[in-house]
Amino acid sequence: MDLHAIAFWSFSALAVISAFGVVFAKNIVYNILSLIAALIAVSGLFFNLGAELLGALQILIYAVAIVVFYVLVISTVPEYKGQSVDPKYMLISIPTGFAIFLELSYVSIYGAWASSTGIFTPEVMQDVGNIKAVSSMLFTKYLFPFEVASLILLVAMIGAILLGRKEQVMEENQ
Amino acid sequence: MKELILISIGIGIKSLIFIIGMFLLAAYLTLIERKFAGHVQQRPGPLHVGFHGLLQPIADALKVLTKEDIVPNFVDKYLFYLASLMAFVPAIMILAVIPFGEPINIFGYEIKPYISDVNVGLILALAFGSISIYGVIFAGWASNSKYPMIGGLRKAAVLIGYEVALGFALVGPIMLAGTFSLREIVEAQQGFFGAFIWYQPLAFIVFLFSILAETGRTPFDVQEAEAELVAGYNTEYSGMKFGLFPLAEWYIATFVLSAIAVILFFGGWNGPHIFGPISPYIWFLAKLFLVFMFLLWVHWTLPRYRVDQITEIAWKVMLPLTFINIFITAIIVIIKG
């Protein structure tokens, strides 16, 4: 057992246990707490693989910047509403969840694993470092998808502002 | 296996030294703050325990540790205990990526005055710093009480705004240095006029505001505004659980963020070698102390902003300023090659 194997197994175990917590915890604040734990454990896995940039961004963007909004909303939900479980939603959620599981396993077996060899060998990574490798790919080969993604985010932002404004105007009229 | 044990022991000892040192330092930073605050407000500050209050931190620590630990009836016990640690642990984790000087040789061993030198050190420091807001939000929620809840939500609103501004403010110095590693950023600033404060004054101003907001110091201390919210998010806490919050926020986080400010803008441990071999450490600590005292000075001089004004400054003033800074810096970097 070397250090990498120990780190891999402990972070994976933490990630899986916290993922169970996200699904099965009764209190919604505990759900969100387990989600944070799972995201941080996954970032530990990235560090273990030598992808420091991904690991650091995983903590900064997923575990903090995005989840903090969930926490803001969920911590203001009254406790009795968070605890109610309505079995009729399971009719939709269980088939949907199973379909997503099948799709993910298909993609990871035939898509991601088949093309797991990138153009950067470990020696090149040692030489140029994470950040330069990621940014050189992002701004050459993947420039168009990157720009499209930023356009979608811009549209979402404008839409959110529009929705927020409308409510305010209605409140003032009343 | 042998290598693994050696690495673990080395990192363990180093981390212990950093953590214990930080605890002692934070204890004495409380004394410095109270003395300073006293003299700002024309009163002597702590005087009676030891010479001019020198033993006051020890008396305070004993008092906080031996106090009866009251947990109110209707709190969520698990989260209530966890929240105080969630605020404290990430703040101290930032120490793992902060370099305090260059490697030195003692008795043939190379001793590095930092725990790790990953090449994304700056992003990691930012990430750990922002995790600690969960401590405040969950403390507010777990207390199951009005004022802590309001305090926690206010802190979240302030931090969401200033995290963004802080992140963009750091882009300027990173572009000039061409690296994310804190050690290499220091090496990029040689000489008195090499310090990035001369080239990045806008970024420094935004960074200063963000430190104040992130550590909850006075112009921005809405999360515990004692005139409105009793004591904010830590109203229901007592004993050492209460002590951990200000220790983490006011002292360790402020200290660590001042260290990052020194590294980014004031040339880190660079300085004339007038104290012999230990001069890098003396320069670093002297600069750090000056930044820390500046923050204390702001804290004990200014009144508090309203919470909507604070978020308005973050989004409408600080964020555009950082964009202007990035734009100008990018043009200059391209022109100079």
Residue identified by tokens 């989260």 is B79
Confidence band for A151, pLDDT divided at 50, 70 and 90: very high
Interface contact A68-B131, CB threshold 8 A: no
| B59 shares its domain with B82 | no
CA atoms within 13 A on the CB side of B92: 22
- How far, CA to CA in Å, does B179 sit from each of A25, B103, B267, B299? 42, 19, 15, 33
Q: At what angle do helices B77-93 and B121-131 cross, to 10 degrees?
A: 160
Query: Average pLDDT of B80-90?
Result: 85
| B147 shares its domain with B13 | no
DSSP bridge pairs for B109: B106
User: Which of B35, B66, B97 is the endpoint of a domain?
Assistant: B66
Number of structural domains found in chain B: 2
Nearest to B4 among A2, A30, A71 (CB): A2
Query: Average pLDDT of B296-305?
Result: 84
Domain holding B53, by residue range, is 1-66
Interface contact A59-B127, CB threshold 8 A: yes
User: Which of B24, B48, B66 is the endpoint of a domain?
Assistant: B66
Report B:108-127 residues touching A (Cβ under 8 A).
Answer: 118-120, 123-124, 126-127
Is the domain spanning A1-83 CATH 1.20.120.1200? The answer is: yes
Question: For position A17, what pLDDT does the model report?
Answer: 92
Q: Is A134 on the interface with B (CB under 8 A)?
A: no
| B269 shares its domain with B302 | yes
Burial pattern A121-156, b for ≥16 Cβ within 10 A else e, equals eeeeeeeebbbbbbeeeeeeeeeeeeeeeeeeeeee
Question: For position B25, what pLDDT does the model report?
Answer: 83
Query: Average pLDDT of A43-61?
Result: 84
When computed from its CA atoms, the radius of gyration of chain B, rounded to whole angstroms, is 21
Instruction: Classify A121 in phi/psi space as left (phi over 0), alpha (psi -120 to 50) or beta.
Output: beta
Rounded to a whole number of angstroms, the distance from the CA of A20 to the nearest CA of chain B is 18
Q: Which of A59, A67, A80 is the best residue to mutate to test the B interface, defined by the most B CB atoms within 10 Å of its own CB?
A: A59
User: Which of B31, B66, B101 is the endpoint of a domain?
Assistant: B66
Interface contact B120-A1, CB threshold 8 A: no
| B330 shares its domain with B289 | yes
Nearest to B137 among A63, A65, A75 (CB): A75
Q: pLDDT over 70 for what percent of chain B?
A: 95
Backbone angles phi, psi at B106, to 5 degrees: -125, 120
Nearest to B141 among A1, A29, A65 (CB): A29
Query: Average pLDDT of A98-106?
Result: 89
Q: Indicate whether A116 pLDDT > 60.
A: no
Q: Which of A75, A80, A127, A153 is the best residue to mutate to test the B interface, defined by the most B CB atoms within 10 Å of its own CB?
A: A75
ipTM of the complex in this document: 0.78
Residue closest to B155 by CA, chosen among B14, B269, B307, B301 = B307
Question: For position B213, what pLDDT does the model report?
Answer: 85
pTM of this structure: 0.80
Rounded to a whole number of angstroms, the distance from the CA of A37 to the nearest CA of chain B is 11
Query: Average pLDDT of B310-318?
Result: 86
By mean pLDDT, which of A59-63, A66-70, B109-113 is the weakest? B109-113
Q: At what angle do helices B279-301 and B201-214 cross, to 10 degrees?
A: 70
- Average pLDDT over all residues of chain B: 81
Nearest to A75 among B4, B126, B141 (CB): B141
CB B198 within 8 A of CB B190: no
Q: Indicate whether A170 pLDDT > 60.
A: no
Question: For position A99, what pLDDT does the model report?
Answer: 93
Q: Is A53 on the interface with B (CB under 8 A)?
A: yes
Q: What letter does residue A65 receive in the DSSP assignment? A: I
Q: Comparing B103 with A97, which gets the higher pLDDT? A: A97
In chain A, where the domains are located: 1-83
Tally Cβ neighbours within 10 Å of residue B10. 13
Question: For position A85, what pLDDT does the model report?
Answer: 66
| B2 shares its domain with B119 | no
Question: For position A1, what pLDDT does the model report?
Answer: 62
Report the largest interatomic distance among the alpha carbons of chain A, rounded to a whole angstrom: 68
Instruction: For residues A96 and B81, give the distance between their C-alpha atoms in angstroms, rounded to a whole number.
Output: 37
Give the per-residue SS3 of B270-301.
CCCCCCHHHHHHHHHHHHHHHHHHHHHHHHHH
Q: pLDDT over 90 for what percent of chain B?
A: 0
